[in-house]
Structure 1
């Protein structure tokens, strides 16, 4: 099969913003709020602000590159421009892809956890991964139906979700009399900085927009607008919700219910009706987030395949490369959903994403900053912030769960080894390297 088929102008500016917020809010609020509170203590709302600042420096690189070279490959295109068709470019692109697939399994497990909360089940039940895999299959079916249905569904669900969650935050604050209950605890400066790694995960969904660049209308202007709007919307929503949760529950209860913190916070603040509405919001948020993420990852894998930077096998399946990469995406996400818990999934995603992000900034700084008119100090600041956060997070995880640090390191080594062997046996010709 030859090139993948991309639909130009199939995603409007509101659709792109909805896609970005869809991925971000699906993971950020429902899956990560309690885990961030566990590390940051009573300062957990501030962790979202710091995460947004670090993300803003990161987004600068993606915005500059997307304005100059909008592409359906997004991050794959940036890495190819910076490093050429090399092991570094292909390995970092695969790290990004894997971090997004890891995020999908995080969201899928969150869906399962909140569903069981509504049904009064055990959040540690085997039904959590079963429900999560069910959602992944649903996301596959929606994506297989075509690009326009993804865009339309993203807009509808994003409006419901952002409005509903903002209302939850405002109602929670009003019901609690705006008194912050989550005081005490906290593990110091290193732990707070480590929490920012998870906060960054709550914002990294903006890269979904980058990966769909060639399909956005007027991409040279709208990709950057969509990224800025989606990050800004999420900062407001995250702060509202963080303060609402902190006003409703003491810190120890937030940490104890870290996998379903919003549902736990809704009951005392808003009663039983509020609890069920919050669970319903969680299900909408996680479902739309997963659909948008599966859409972006399958496009990125297809683009890397088109550029001959990763191997591809049809495994006897009919259809285009894009159809096949959609299947690969949901199979890997399903595997992770079954075998990893929320905390480990989030940690692995943070490791892969931060390393990939630093590789991108460094490549653009070294090879492209003059070509795209980027300021060197902004790129270096982005690298420095990522490095500080990654070091603190790795140090904290090494103390509490060294196995996941080792899994992360081995995983990254295997990724670069895998693409290195593939590219040495299948060198990329100039024509493949210059894919539009």
Structure 2
């Protein structure tokens, strides 16, 4: 495992490209319409609110990464805050699972835009079949080796940021800043707006990828924090540009009706069919490259959790290293979610998992590490409070509109904690038994 992590192998520019490359993808392509559905006509403000909550959240990660840059990333923070306990292991696993959930979101977004671009109906089997196909393709790219993933991801990150920014600028230039979505007579409900921030946060949470690569960034005690701040800043600009472009081209009803492919739909009125097809192509490139990078990151994180003895591992008769196996586990789980959950439920599940994990991290740092790393307690408390407010509003809204996904989320999170409690207790009992035999 340790040989996979090379110090000083990621420059500051490379870390920023990695963060923005992960963030800008399915978040803006799949979530824009869903955020508009919850937030109402002023949905671009949801991205600003999401960036604000993310900024407070990022403070904890920046402080911890500056003090303890590590390839362990999220798992390292949790272990330092709570020790090798159930809560640390479960929260780390929730983070990994939220990343896998995002992969299924990306896969279904890829399939939706591809079918829309080809003028084909999004039937019951077409979207999951194409989504699983992309996941399998991404597996083979990852299995080919780290070098194949690294250079490909950097180039694609540049293309995604530039392409999406160009889309937003071109749409605004062609159609003007009239913002149709805000003038169609509908009002913004405060509860729905606050709940929408949970999805906006998902569009920014990719910055944690930088945290997970802390030990590999050049001068990590300074550059990890810089990379996180820069990548969030870039994404705020791009997201707002795109949100205003969509709102200037379509009414709120049109955005909601085309919520799974809102950017492509918005390109039609202002940029014509050529713009529509170019947007579809950009979505395909962004989602496929994002999925490849995400699968690489998740499989490596699961391998790290295995190395830290926070999760169990079984070869199931397979050959190869641990990361070869976690790569397979990642694509199997992502494929399962792609088949059985739609975009809305996948996004909801990811929001629940991520926000719960985020609250656990802030609380652990506040209780046990804030003096050690020089973190301001008021900022940590603010981050916790904002997360709780957003999570509560989102849970209430989802309970009213789709109670099943709330129940599924609670059951799965409870199962994760119960599983980790059983595993760690079994591990400690096994170590104690081994030590007793060693003494006799």
- TM-score scaled by length of structure 2: 0.95
Q: Measured at CA, do residues 317 and 5 of structure 1 come closer, stay the same or move farther in structure 2, by a change above 3 Å?
A: farther
**Aligned mates of 1:193, 1:224 — CA distance in 2:** 27
**Aligned mates of 1:72, 1:31 — CA distance in 2:** 30
After TM superposition, list the pairs within 5 Å mapping 1:101-116 onto structure 2. 101-116=100-115
How far 1:4 sits from its partner (Å)?
A: 6.8
Query: Which residues of structure 1 form unaligned runs of 5+?
Result: 431-436
Does 2:54 match 1:71?
no
Q: Name the structure 2 match of 1:84.
A: 83
Q: Name the structure 2 match of 1:127.
A: 126
Q: Name the structure 2 match of 1:433.
A: none
**Aligned mates of 2:311, 2:6 — CA distance in 1:** 23
Cα displacement string for residues 128-164 of structure 1 (whole angstroms, at most 9, x for unaligned residues): 1111112112222222233333221121111111111
**Aligned mates of 1:30, 1:375 — CA distance in 2:** 36
After TM superposition, list the pairs within 5 Å mapping 1:384-395 onto structure 2. 384-395=385-396
Does 2:53 match 1:50?
no
How far 1:186 sits from its partner (Å)?
A: 4.1
Does 2:225 match 1:224?
yes
- TM-score scaled by length of structure 1: 0.96
Contact 2:65 2:225 in 1 (8 A): yes
Cα displacement string for residues 299-331 of structure 1 (whole angstroms, at most 9, x for unaligned residues): 211111111111100112222112211111111
Q: Name the structure 2 match of 1:434.
A: none
**Aligned mates of 2:123, 2:94 — CA distance in 1:** 29
Q: Secondary structure at the match of 1:255?
A: helix
Q: Name the structure 1 match of 2:30.
A: 31
**Aligned mates of 2:367, 2:4 — CA distance in 1:** 32
How far 1:3 sits from its partner (Å)?
A: 6.0
Q: Measured at CA, do residues 173 and 3 of structure 1 come closer, stay the same or move farther in structure 2, by a change above 3 Å?
A: closer
Cα displacement string for residues 44-100 of structure 1 (whole angstroms, at most 9, x for unaligned residues): 000000000000000010111111112222101100000000000000001111111
Q: Secondary structure at the match of 2:42?
A: helix
Q: Secondary structure at the match of 1:182?
A: helix
Q: Secondary structure at the match of 2:253?
A: helix
Contact 2:42 2:188 in 1 (8 A): no
Q: Secondary structure at the match of 1:43?
A: coil
**Aligned mates of 1:127, 1:13 — CA distance in 2:** 41
Contact 1:70 1:220 in 2 (8 A): yes
Q: Measured at CA, do residues 226 and 10 of structure 1 come closer, stay the same or move farther in structure 2, by a change above 3 Å?
A: same
Does 2:295 match 1:294?
yes
Contact 1:212 1:299 in 2 (8 A): no
Q: Name the structure 2 match of 1:409.
A: 410
Contact 2:41 2:187 in 1 (8 A): yes
Query: Which residues of structure 2 form unaligned runs of 5+?
Result: 433-440
**Aligned mates of 1:79, 1:257 — CA distance in 2:** 40
Contact 2:210 2:228 in 1 (8 A): yes
Larger radius of gyration: 2
Q: Name the structure 2 match of 1:19.
A: 18
Contact 1:4 1:321 in 2 (8 A): no
Contact 1:33 1:258 in 2 (8 A): yes
Q: Secondary structure at the match of 2:40?
A: helix
Contact 1:10 1:147 in 2 (8 A): no
Number of matched pairs: 429
Does 2:59 match 1:60?
yes
How far 1:124 sits from its partner (Å)?
A: 4.0
Q: Name the structure 2 match of 1:363.
A: 364
**Aligned mates of 2:139, 2:216 — CA distance in 1:** 19
Contact 1:92 1:359 in 2 (8 A): yes
Contact 2:41 2:188 in 1 (8 A): no
Q: Secondary structure at the match of 1:371?
A: helix
How far 1:125 sits from its partner (Å)?
A: 4.2
Q: Name the structure 1 match of 2:305.
A: 304
Q: Secondary structure at the match of 2:256?
A: helix
Moved more, 311-320 or 364-373: 311-320
Contact 1:211 1:299 in 2 (8 A): no
After TM superposition, list the pairs within 5 Å mapping 1:131-280 onto structure 2. 131-183=130-182, 184-280=185-281
Q: Measured at CA, do residues 10 and 139 of structure 1 come closer, stay the same or move farther in structure 2, by a change above 3 Å?
A: farther
How far 1:187 sits from its partner (Å)?
A: 4.9
